[in-house]
Structure 1
Amino acid sequence: MNRVVIIGSGNLAEALARALAAARGLQLVQIHARNEERGREVARIAGCAWSGDPAALAPADLYLIAVSDRAVAEVAERLPIPHGAAVAHTAGSVPMEAIPAKFARRGVFYPMQTFTKGRAVDFRPIPIFLEASTPELLAELEEVAQRLSDRVIPADSERRSKIHLAAVFACNFANHMYTLGEEIARSAGLDFDVLRALVAETAAKACDAASPRDVQTGPAVRGDRTTQERHEALIADSRMKEIYQTISQNIWETSRKI
């Protein structure tokens, strides 16, 4: 299994295209995407062909469906993917069964990372979670994944959904906290730059520790209600105040269980 087609042109499709194009023993033969401008851009980055015409879908050993979660089933159903080829989607929380059963060789190829247009990432440390309809296909997907990453992990749909939920908390929610912190800093006449060193050290400590719980700091973990009340008095927005109170209470309750 070495000839690969990526179906899609979003952030994940671009990141996969970059990684596959640079991997030894793999050939990215085509980006298939309905968005011509974006599809051509991703194909140019990866140095491969582009097509938006289903009739021009290139022959390949593996078709990676890197589209929005809700579009996985529809895209797999409508494309003339050759009989006998492997078809895998790249979504964290979508069951493997979203790929129609007419594909005997179906699976999941989920790289757990946040991807941004135009931003290259190193795939070697990125965990890639795999699921497949047969043990034989799982072994083949593992060979492909190992050419991209040093962390390849089998995971059925239930396990992968939990991992995706963990990623939402650790990535999406954490980034939203940075956004709220930026808003508060701006109310003091400063911008996000004043928080960069703090954000970097917080992430570094969490990664270096056996558990991020071990390096939790701040007034909530200390049970410092005086400081918390001062903070709450500064928050005019009721929803932001509720977030502050809910998270502070959860930190306190979690820290008591250590």
Structure 2
Amino acid sequence: MKVSIIGSGNVGWHLGIAFENHHHPICEVFSRQSAKATKLSSMLYQAEVKTDLDFSESEADLFILSVADDAMEDVCSKIILPENAILAHTSGSKSLEDLQKLMLIHHDLPVKCGVFYPLMTFSAGKKLDLKTVPFCIEASDEETEQKLVEIAQELSNIVYLISSEERKVLHVAAVFACNFTNHLLALAKGITDSEELEFDLLKPIISETFKKALAAEDPADVQTGPAIRKDKSIINRHLDYLKTDENLVEIYEVLTESIQHF
């Protein structure tokens, strides 16, 4: 299957290279930032850099829409696809119906729509084994669904048919598990840095925390610390230390209460 990538951010970057590694050539790369499209295309075999969204003469069968949610409507209003092409977005929060409605509003002919969502955090330049990444697939019809499942199974060992509502739930859960967790680690580093202590001293406990949480049937079963023990003396000492930063005090109090009432 021939593929074109619309959007050259982290997800588009990883998927483009992965498709070609599994013998699905990339025909075109489009990005509002042409420099990014050029850089991604240089990593691919013969991908053309597109400066507009007219793909009417493209040989691609699958068009991966990997743009920010806020940019989706603008892209859908301008894109021109060849007949029988599949347009699949990679968003965790946009529904299949959202994509279908946008295409119906802006185009006379029906378009085969789908979702090709990799449930993972992607960073530029950070290599990732997509075989371990869950792919959530949804489509407007069975034939399109089957094609998306087949290509996803080439990229990954973990492929599920997931509805838009289920994907929304997974995306919310992923924000807690990934984004919020990473932010808490960044706050922890800020605390150690403020006292000229090495953040590396925390890495063993961070590693053990994740190992236990992932091994447990329920991470709540392996919760430790002053909050779960309801150790008011330690909690108050921590809050006294943090009192110069109202943001940290609020986060500490909210999480402590959440742990105690979970």
Same fold judged by TM-score > 0.5?
yes
Q: Deviations over 1:144-175 (max 9, x none)?
A: 11011111111121111111001110011001
Q: Which residue of 2 aligns with 1:97?
A: 97
The one-letter code sitting in structure 1 at the alignment partner of 2:19 is L
Distance 1:13 1:78 in 2: 19
Q: Deviations over 1:53-75 (max 9, x none)?
A: 23664321100000001111221
The one-letter code sitting in structure 2 at the alignment partner of 1:9 is S
Secondary structure of 1:124's aligned partner: helix
Please say if residues 86 and 106 of structure 1, whose CA atoms lie closer than 8 Å, have aligned partners that are also in contact: yes
Q: Which residue of 2 aligns with 1:183?
A: 190
Q: How many residues align?
A: 252
Q: Deviations over 1:76-100 (max 9, x none)?
A: 2211111210001000001112321
Q: Which residue of 1 aligns with 2:5?
A: 6
Is residue 2:218 matched to residue 1:219?
no
Aligned ranges 1:109-120 → 2 under 5 Å = 109-120=116-127
How far residue 50 of structure 1 moved from its aligned partner, in angstroms, is 3.3
Q: Which residue of 2 aligns with 1:21?
A: 20
Distance 2:213 2:158 in 1: 19
Q: Which residue of 2 aligns with 1:167?
A: 174
Is residue 2:142 matched to residue 1:144?
no
The one-letter code sitting in structure 2 at the alignment partner of 1:252 is Q
Aligned ranges 1:38-117 → 2 under 5 Å = 38-54=36-52, 57=55, 58-99=58-99, 100-101=103-104, 102-117=109-124
Q: Which residue of 2 aligns with 1:36?
A: 34
Distance 1:56 1:92 in 2: 26
The one-letter code sitting in structure 2 at the alignment partner of 1:78 is K
Could you say if the C-alpha distance between residues 92 and 55 of structure 1 is closer, same or farther in structure 2, counting changes exceeding 3 Å?
closer
Q: Give the percent of matched residue pairs that are identical in Structure 1 and Structure 2.
A: 36
The one-letter code sitting in structure 1 at the alignment partner of 2:39 is E
TM-score, scaled relative to structure 2: 0.91
Q: Deviations over 1:13-61 (max 9, x none)?
A: 11111221212x4222222223121111112223341323236643211
Match for 2:256 among 248, 251, 258?
Answer: 248
Could you say if the C-alpha distance between residues 126 and 103 of structure 1 is closer, same or farther in structure 2, counting changes exceeding 3 Å?
farther
Distance 1:50 1:191 in 2: 47
TM-score, scaled relative to structure 1: 0.92
Distance 2:183 2:40 in 1: 28
Distance 2:79 2:111 in 1: 15
**What RMSD over aligned residues (CA atoms) do the two structures have, in Å?**
1.6
- Structure 2 unpaired stretches of 5+: none
Please say if residues 104 and 133 of structure 1, whose CA atoms lie closer than 8 Å, have aligned partners that are also in contact: no
Please say if residues 54 and 79 of structure 2, whose CA atoms lie closer than 8 Å, have aligned partners that are also in contact: no
Please say if residues 129 and 155 of structure 1, whose CA atoms lie closer than 8 Å, have aligned partners that are also in contact: yes
The one-letter code sitting in structure 1 at the alignment partner of 2:216 is A
Could you say if the C-alpha distance between residues 201 and 45 of structure 1 is closer, same or farther in structure 2, counting changes exceeding 3 Å?
farther
